[in-house]
Amino acid sequence: MTVSSDQDRAEADDLPAPPPDDGPGLFGDASAPTSAPTVATAPPASAPVPYRVLARKYRPATLDDLIGQDSTVRILRNAFALGRVAHAFMLTGVRGVGKTTTARIIARALNCVGPDGTGGPTADPCGVCANCVAILADRHPDVLEMDAASRTGVDDVREIIEATRFRPMQGRMKVFIIDEVHMLSRNAFNALLKTLEEPPAQVTFVFATTELRKVPVTVLSRCQRFDLRRVPQADLAAHFGRIAQAEGVACTPDALALIARAADGSVRDGLSLLDQAIAQGAQTHDTDGAHVPIEADLVSDMLGLADRGRVFDLLDAVLAGRPDQALAITDEAHARGADLGVMLGDVLELVHTVSRLKALPALRHGTELPEAERARGGALADRLSVPVLGRTWQMLLKGLSEIEMAPDRREAAEMILIRLCYVADLPPPGDLVRRLTGKDGAGAAGPMVSGAPASAGGPAVGAAGMATTADSGPQGGIPVTAHGGLRMVANGGVRVADLSPAEPQDLVAPEPVPEPEPEPSSPVLTTWRETVAFVSGKDAMLHGHLRHSTHLVAFTPPRIDLRVDRAGLPGLTRRLETLLRRETDVAWEVRASTEQGKPTLAEQGAEIIQFHRAAAEAHPLVRAIFARFPDARLGAVTDHSLDDYGLPPEEAASAVLAPDLEFAPLDADLVDEDDLDMNDDR
């Protein structure tokens, strides 16, 4: 039966009929004749579509869209291909690397049914089925996301536990995505443990956190962990270039590199900066009306950074000792609104980049750094030494902390730059010590500073902790005299006063310089015992093993044959040979032997002690004491004529003991040598 009217429909459904039509309504009658006059109206304008930021517009929808996470993508693909998908995942990494995005991709992969509705779990969701569309729109009833930062209590976790008891309403799997899971309370974690360990077959947990150390180990052990890494700068710059091209905006490679560096491995942060750069520079046109590409200068101004080239200029001026040029650069940067503290941070980062270029020359041919930085940074790396770079790093690192405590950041930054310029022409402390001690081959009178002269002819203050007075040398360097007047100075630096003959010296009369004492000649070692004693002041461990575990086989300078006990020092012969060659300037040759050799010096000394003890026990006075006091014991027997090894002097090695031993009475007082009358014949 066909219901053709409201009355008939009401009778068919046993419902009361609607009231009869009583004429046209307030807004006219839709059933009015077409001949009635009408007012022409324009079609309603469509509502403006709200703008979606690039981070949301270009959010990855598949595993192939993830950048910089090759290991995670490979493991997930293999897991879906083999049907070995875990029931709980723990995704960790810094902000903006794709933790929540990966969790949603996993949820789609578990619930995708394909375009025909017959598909199963797959690592490549179709994106057109009902489940994929609903998950992408954040309205799927079986994919629940919870922010643990705002819902941290145990009651919130109980709601999840209760929801796991019911089967999915629409999809194949229930997926619970808990973001910032480390914010859950301890009781909430404990309540989740049992369900997390043995969840129902149709439930999957996906956790995301930036603070993995705050997650209990009991939770980590129940999850499959994936560490999402920081995206390399080269990959970020290439990704941002593709997005800018898709948006119809041109960016220079240097601008993209600056954005990628500021993103610090985070895709979301970089896309937010790119969005800001496009909004700032997309309306710029040239004389022909074409869009001007976004330059690095515009990005630097947007980020509040100093121009990279000016940072290089500042570092060049500092390392060349030109404070006037360095302060001119900082004045210009301050006038443009740059924070000098941030600028010094850029200089610190540049010092690190130059140090990496020096340690890893392959970086000069890679794409990790822009071409300008590779060229200028490589030139600085070739010109500067590692000690100079290390000293600059330490002073900048300490200076940045001073800037945070200073009442005026600009003043603190400029004082740091002046300090760096003041020490630019000073050698590192290690080179200074070697030159003063003559260990570099030039002797104590060699040039201490070579290259660029000191600025303004004033005293130069460094970090060596010493001060010296020097005369100007003929080669432009500053030779140091043998007795250079080394003095500790209040600021802990190095002061080099130029006393060239062309300058007036009538203010302070120079003190007479004593003649340099002749350097001691190399020691001559003629016996094995002298050799061991010589080692005692150079290497304590080696000396101990030479005394207690080394047997002399042959001593024919400059060759020594030794047998080392099994418990001796490994590599003893090589260590002894190196020490003797370094300290005596003689080509010693120390060889290991298998012959028995002589007893060790410790064994020889023990034998002498036992001989002394036997002789003392046989003395009549000692025997008389033992007879009178049976419980008495003989103490240590000391012979002051023996050396440190308990052996007699080598000149009188044949006379091991004196023929007689004399004993003083037990109640005798000790007499000092100064109180003895040397003329007394008694």
Q: Which domains does the chain have, with CATH numbers?
A: 54-227 (3.40.50.300), 233-301 (1.10.8.60), 304-422 (1.20.272.10), 444-502 (no CATH), 528-598 (3.30.300), 603-660 (no CATH)
3-class DSSP assignment, residue 386? helix
E-assigned strands of 113-240?
Answer: 143-147, 174-179, 203-209, 224-227
Distance, CA of 531 to CA of 550 (rounded, Å): 13
Single out the residue of 403, 405, 387 nearest to residue 330, CA to CA: 403
C-alpha atoms less than 13 angstroms from C-alpha of 108 in its C-beta half-sphere: 27
Distance, CA of 669 to CA of 655 (rounded, Å): 30
Distance, CA of 11 to CA of 15 (rounded, Å): 6
Q: What angle do CA 369, 371, 373 make, to 5 degrees?
A: 65
Single out the residue of 308, 316, 310 nearest to residue 420, CA to CA: 316
Distance, CA of 259 to CA of 294 (rounded, Å): 11
- Continuous segment of H or E residues that includes residue 90: strand 88-92
Q: Give the DSSP letter of residue 251.
A: B
Say if pTM beats, i.e. exceeds, 0.75: no
Q: Are 432 and 448 in contact (CB under 8 A)?
A: yes
Q: Are 226 and 89 in contact (CB under 8 A)?
A: yes
Alpha helices by DSSP H, listed for 564-619, are: 572-584, 601-617
Q: Which residues of the chain have pLDDT under 50?
A: 1-40, 441-508, 652-662, 676, 678-682
Q: Are 278 and 241 in contact (CB under 8 A)?
A: no
Single out the residue of 446, 454, 396 nearest to residue 425, CA to CA: 454
Distance, CA of 7 to CA of 423 (rounded, Å): 103
Amino acid identity for residue 471 in this structure: D
Q: Based on the number of CB atoms within 10 Å of its own CB, is 63 exposed (0-12), middle (13-18) or buried (19 or more)?
A: buried
E-assigned strands of 557-671?
Answer: 559-564, 589-592
Q: Which residues pair with 109 in a beta bridge?
A: none
Distance, CA of 203 to CA of 194 (rounded, Å): 13
Single out the residue of 244, 310, 205, 218 nearest to residue 58, CA to CA: 244
Q: Are 170 and 142 in contact (CB under 8 A)?
A: yes
Amino acid identity for residue 303 in this structure: L
